[in-house]
Amino acid sequence: MLIAGGEKDTATKRTVVATAEIFDPNANGGAGGFFPTGSMHYAREFHTATLLANGQVLIAGGDLFAGLTHAEIYNPVTGTFRLTAHMNFPREDHTATGLSNGNVLIAGGDDFGTISATTEIFDPIINGGIGGFGVGPTMSAARRYAAAALITIGNDTGWALIAGGYTTGFDASDTAELFISLGGFGAPFNTMSVARQSPSVTGLLDGNLLVAGGSCNPGSTGGQRSADLLMVTGPNVGNFEPTGSLVDGLVDHAAALLPDGQVLVTGGLRFNVGSCANPCVSSNGCSANATNSAELYHP
């Protein structure tokens, strides 16, 4: 696993870094270990990292006092980063989704307070193998802190869900839309049960997608407990259906599909259900703290 960039917090200052390291789960007799690797060309945080079909990793955008257009590619064989073409738009807090054709969909994000509805497609083959970004179709809404995932509907692969995030009015969105590799963005889905920014989205073994938690708006300190299933199979394809709620309201958490089909949800900012009446209103005395809690979703 590659860990690259981010913000380092010390007793005296907080610094955005370009350093990177590798986690090897087989090191130290199977206990695992972290090892330094080559540094990026640019320090950055709030960027994306996407595994490419050739085993290399695309690092795109992020923040260093403003949104970046810079992108680079990590080669695990040489342990080094090389620069690739710049993106067409500076962006941070965007989404990046590896598509089934080997390209990467970059969507939304923010540049110094301006939230974007633009997208672009990274093709790793063009420009003599250097790679490059082409302008993609525009989303129906500007989105920052959205969730994205690759999905398969029927026998069609290469579709990407973009859900939630917050919009130009700095309000979280309950909308979602579908990117189709050969046709741009299709008609928006039905809305989620609630608005969400920074939720988690996880593909389940049955093909449906779990969208969980998230915050109602950037000013609120609470996270949503609710979760929705985007139905990719069955009679209600394209609909969001409420499913079991999280134990705690969470935002900025992580979610991972386990081999047995359950979903492990870890960390993030936790909103305690009993601490205030409405997690979506920042003046209601809600409080949230980083949490080490974990919970399992049983499909």
pTM over 0.85: yes
Task: Name residue, tokens 């320090």.
Answer: 43
**Could you give the CA distance from residue 44 to residue 291 in angstroms, rounded to a whole number?**
25
**Could you give the CA distance from residue 238 to residue 241 in angstroms, rounded to a whole number?**
10
In the chain, the amino acid numbered 56 is Q
pLDDT recorded at residue 60: 98
Count CB-CB contacts under 10 A for residue 165.
32
Going along the chain from its start, the domains and CATH numbers come out as: 1-92+108-136 (2.120.10.80), 139-299 (2.120.10.80)
**Could you give the CA distance from residue 90 to residue 95 in angstroms, rounded to a whole number?**
13
In the chain, the amino acid numbered 182 is L
Residue 93 has pLDDT above 80, yes or no: yes
Query: Encoding tokens for residue 247?
Result: 């134990």
Strand order in the sheet with 95-98: 95-98, 104-107, 119-123, 132-135
Q: How confident is the model at residue 77 (pLDDT cuts 50, 70, 90)?
A: very high
Phi, psi for 88 (deg, rounded to 5): -80, -20
Query: What is residue 1's three-state secondary structure?
Result: coil
Residue 283 has pLDDT above 50, yes or no: no
Dump pLDDT digits (tens) for 148-197: 998 876 666 678 999 999 887 677 899 999 898 777 887 677 899 988 98
**Could you give the CA distance from residue 44 to residue 20 in angstroms, rounded to a whole number?**
11
